[in-house]
Chain A
Amino acid sequence: MTPRWEEDPVLTIEHLTMRFGGLVAASELSFQVGRDEITAVIGPNGAGKTTVFNCITGFYRPTVGRMTLRRRSGATFLLERMADYEISRIAKVARTFQNIRLFSGMTLLENLLVAQHNALMRASQFTIGGVLGLPSYRAGERRAVDKALAWLQRIDLGHRADDAAGDLPYGDQRRLEIARAMCTGPELLCLDEPAAGLNPRESHALTGLLSSIREERETSILLIEHDMSVVMEISDHVVVLDHGEKIADGTPQQIRDDEAVIAAYLGVPDEELDEIEEVITG
């Protein structure tokens, strides 16, 4: 049986190589991201995870390689040939950042409206209709506000719509950044360590949010994560990188049992950990 991510991939990465001078951050990477699935990229520090992300979202231009994004409509885009903002606007790939990049001096509502910039620009006839106050713009703005509010409700921040984003606690900022990315209406959502720095309760809320996005079957998710409990709980497909190379690719169960992964990343198997624990505590 072929896995789902090979049958209907939303993103196909082939021979992706990224060199910074003499440093090879990613070499000959090939993997697929399945449609309507959650795909996790894991690996030790410096394995090249964020480099891959920056290539996909256009912040880096890969040295070699092809990245094909296939939208639900059947339209395909070669991401390595597009500018970063076009990847978001046309190919519908949204992303979040490892160190949160919210517009901290703007309110939550404003943050989510900026994410709908392109739709709002069209509604305002590229500002001309907006300056004149045409009704079509007002209707467009109302739709955008409704969408923003729906997302705020969904991340339990509806009551703070008028607060500055920089005033939010860390965990809320993470969720707001995801909501902001979702407001661009993406087909592929790339999350760079969404659970970093979250407490167990917050990370539970996060996995709930990600699962609910998957249930809607509109957005596929690609995420980088260190927190193995999150990865194993929600992902359908795990890709393991080490030193810029792919060392394993499969379902969470396959990854858990993979010798190379255990050696490179997970360290010793859980049973052995238990044994060690027994020795220490016993």
Chain B
Amino acid sequence: MVNAMGWGERLQAALKEAGIAALITFALICVIIGLKTDIGPDGLEITQRWDLVASGVAIVFVGRLLLRLVVWGPEGQGRGLFSSIPKAREMPWLGKVLGVALLAIAITLPFYSGRYVVDLGILVLTYVMLGWGLNIVVGLAGLLDLGYVAFYAVGAYSYALLAHYFGWSFWLCLPLAGILAGFWGIILGFPVLRLRGDYLAIVTLAFGEIIRVVLLNWYQFTGGPDGISGIPRPSFFGIPFSRGEDGFAATFGLDFTSMHRIIFLYYLILILALITNAVTLRLRRLPLGRAWEAMREDEIACRSLGISTTNTKLSAFAIGAMFGGIAGSFFATRQGFISPESFVFMESALILSIVVLGGLGSQIGVAIAAIVMIGGFEVFRELEQYRMLIFGALLVFIMVNRPRGLMARREPSIVLKERKAIGADLVAQGEGHR
């Protein structure tokens, strides 16, 4: 079709299109950017900034013109701007290579990085673990959960309160926090068993808020908005990271630095996240995990095959919540201080966008999405108020180009002869995604 239109006509069409785009831009920005109010000696004064408006319109005009002439070609939106990016389906080895590379980087990171990077690594890994935990509920079982942060909060408060009131150690509280959060997962599961789609999303959202509001208002028990401070730091299996004689550094004949604890925390969350991953991958190959995916595909067919969807849903909620709870108790021990402010809806939304962005059900996709989102947050910190703008634009950009997430394909859970990835077009997304 390239030759169908001569250069002259093509240029004309492109100019017209760019003109329209420029006009729209002008309409959008003429007041917002063109006029600025300042506080002057006699009250508000209006500053006119037509030069800024002109440059904005010019950028859009030239940009649109170039896109149409150079990138998009003459025929409508035929090719996407980034259609040259290889699709995961065409490169089945990509996920594996990326996985190994990321794991190698993750293991060796503390050896060549400073405190800032290791701290950031801890943060990213916490979200990787949360993403993997939520992936069980949303990605595998297909149950949209907008209140996942509730389990993170339950885990964090479980450890904080047990340590505060009974003085129990971190290593005892870690599994306990997971179990308690798992129970809360089942408690959330019961009322939402019969709900579908939007209703499921609303109830889970409300559940997340209920937990936060209770933590906020039960002042005598949880400290309310003051939070809980002085949460004990983890020890190296009983040896504290302190300067003293019986501290970690002295015991192992090292010079004391505060980095020891940071590095220990880093490896701790790395191991916890890898356990989450290993258990999830294992469960996918077991009848329980297969039932989760089957339920995401078609709940009615599941019931006709004798699968109790009640048990299947509750198990997904419980196991997903358990990993959220374990991550929460790690968060508590790392911060040393928790308050309900850490468990707002924004956190749920962030974890959910990590899962959706990564590709529902894809472990490596979730890890990459967590690095991009959390790492990106940090990288753009200097831009201050534009950070959310860039963040939003990034989300829109990825979802436009990859509507089913970065890794939008499904690996079969069992293979007879040949491993064939299944395209996202065939895979259902489950409740709440219709």
Contact = CB atoms under 8 A, between A and B. Distances in A.
Interface in A93-119: 94-95, 97, 101-107, 109-110, 113-118
A127 interface: yes
B100 interface: no
A68 B159 CA distance: 54
B238 interface: no
B294 A124 contact: no
Interface residues of A, number: 43
A184 interface: yes
B413 interface: yes
B60 interface: no
B286 interface: yes
Interface stretch (B114-122, B257-265, B303-311): B303-311
Given A85-B306, A107-B422, A131-B279, A114 B412 contact: no
A89 interface: yes
A113 B428 contact: no
A258 to B, nearest CB: 33
A51 interface: no
B271 interface: no
B286 A114 contact: no
B298 A117 contact: no
Interface in B381-432: 410, 412-420, 422-423, 426-428
Contacts of B414: 107, 109-110, 113, 145
Contacts, number: 136
Contact of B288 (A85, A101, A107, A121): A121
A227 interface: no
B282 A114 contact: no
A60 B418 CA distance: 41
17 contacts: A88-B305, A102-B298, A103-B297, A103-B298, A103-B301, A105-B293, A105-B427, A109-B414, A109-B416, A117-B290, A121-B287, A127-B288, A127-B315, A162-B412, A164-B422, A167-B426, A181-B304
Interface of A: 57, 59, 84-86, 88-89, 94-95, 97, 101-107, 109-110, 113-118, 120-121, 124, 127, 130-131, 137, 145, 149, 161-164, 166-167, 180-181, 184
Given A94-B304, A105-B410, A106-B294, 9 more contacts: A88-B305, A101-B304, A105-B426, A106-B412, A110-B412, A117-B287, A117-B305, A164-B423, A164-B426
Interface of B: 279, 282-283, 286-288, 290-291, 293-294, 297-298, 300-309, 315, 410, 412-420, 422-423, 426-428
